[in-house]
Amino acid sequence: MSSIELLASALGVWAVWLTVQQNRWCWPIGLVMVLLYGWIFFQGKLYSNMLLQGVYAALQVYGWWQWSHGGDRHTGVQVSRLGAQGVLFSLALGCVGAAALGFAMAHYTDASAPWQDAALSAFSLVAQVWMAQKRVECWPLWIILDLLFVALFIDQGLYPTAALYGLFTLLAATGWVTWRRDQALARP
């Protein structure tokens, strides 16, 4: 447990709480968090998660732009649902990404959990894109992923991060309820 991991964990809680509240400041705070976690995962030889943090950094910028300037009126996106076809297509991309990244990490690196790390990383990208687009479906996917991340991080001895992801699970459940309510209220 390092001071960097504790700081990243604290920033993560703050960023997710702001996301649940639909506060656009979740994105720059999240950007600092993912940069710190990139370093933590590099040190822990969780290379898929390290690479994921780099992609998350770009998605933090994308999310901030979407929430500030996206949508039809360029005033920010509103909470919405993704159709079944969009969900299936996104999850299929997650499967392809997990297989490709898992193969690469298992065969070309000394990654400590190549397949689990790769699968969680690939599907986290799906959830993060859905979150940036304010899709309600991001939250149940995050709940599943966060629980699986808890197991991975306990196995790797990253206990503050495991605790953080346990808290993320609770925040994701709150986000799911909140965003569903907000979407229902926004319907004409």
Could you list the pLDDT tens digit for every one of the 188 residues in the chain?
689 988 998 998 999 999 999 999 999 999 999 999 999 989 888 887 788 899 989 999 999 999 998 878 888 888 999 999 999 999 999 999 999 999 999 999 888 899 998 999 899 999 999 999 999 999 999 999 999 999 999 998 888 789 889 999 999 999 999 999 988 887 76
The confidence score (pLDDT) of residue 111 equals 85
Domain that holds residue 133: 3-186
Can you say how many angstroms the Cα of residue 125 is from the centroid of all Cα atoms in its chain?
Answer: 6
pTM of the predicted model, to two decimals? Answer: 0.86
Helical ranges in 44-158 per DSSP H: 47-69, 84-108, 114-132, 138-155
Torsion angle of C-alpha atoms 60, 66, 67, 71, degrees rounded to 10: -170
Which residues touch 120 (CB under 8 Å, ≥6 apart)? 48, 49, 145, 148, 149, 152
Residue at token pair 């964990």: 9
| CA dihedral sign, ordered 66, 17, 44, 100 | negative
Q: What's the structural domain count of the chain?
A: 1
